[in-house]
Each structure stands twice: as structure tokens, then as C-alpha cells.
Amino acid sequence: MWNGLLPTGTTGGLIFISGDGRVLKNRPEREALRSAGLHGFILAPGYLKMPVHQQASLLLWKWPEIDNIVGLLAPPSMHEDTGRQEHEAEANAAFSAGG
């Protein structure tokens, strides 16, 4: 199985990021991810409607938050992003204004 190819003994664990929330509803997929010992982050559906460069920008913006979660919790863990947050809207407004 694919999870046998993952490295073991990594500090802080490995993460996966997906825009497909069905992995949380599909029991075999959910169990496979849990047995792999990963931190999972499921993006809100709105992310997939953005151009790829904006998706990447928002992930980079959120990276300190993701890193903090990974550092606090032991794997496996699963997290859903419910959508845009205030700081993202502020960053986009500043970017749009040229700031």
C-alpha cells in the first residue's frame, strides 16, 4: 500500500493537504490516512475555485498556523479549513491595493 512508502521517524510528522473533503466521509480512505500517521488538512471548497497561484499564496500565508498545529498535536490528526479568515482578506486587500 502507498502508506508503506512514507518515511518513518520524521520529527513533527508528515502532512497532506487536499481539496477533496470526501476523504473524511469515505471510511476506507479515512482509515488509510489515519494508519499512515499523517496530519491532514482539508481545504474549504472555495479554495478550488481560485486560480492556482492564489491557492498557493493562501497556503503560504497559513503555513505558520499549519506548522503550529503540527507541532502541538501528535499524528494522526485531521483538520478542515472552513474558509477565508480575516487576515487573509486583509492580505488580499493590501495586495490588491499594491501594499
pLDDT digits (tens, 9 = 90+) for 8-35: 555 557 888 888 888 888 888 888 888 8
pLDDT in tens, 53-81: 998 898 898 889 888 988 888 888 888 88
Cβ-defined contacts of 1-9 (< 8 Å, 24+):
1/32, 3/32, 3/35, 3/36, 6/36, 6/37, 6/38
Q: Say what the alpha-carbon torsion angle 27, 30, 34, 35 is, to the nearest 10 degrees.
A: 60
Question: In this predicted model, which residue has the larger pLDDT, 7 or 94?
Answer: 7
Q: What pLDDT was estimated at residue 37?
A: 83
Q: What is the mean pLDDT of residues 33-62?
A: 87
pTM over 0.85: no
Q: Where are the domains of the chain?
A: 15-96
Do 20 and 45 form a contact (C-beta atoms < 8 A)?
no
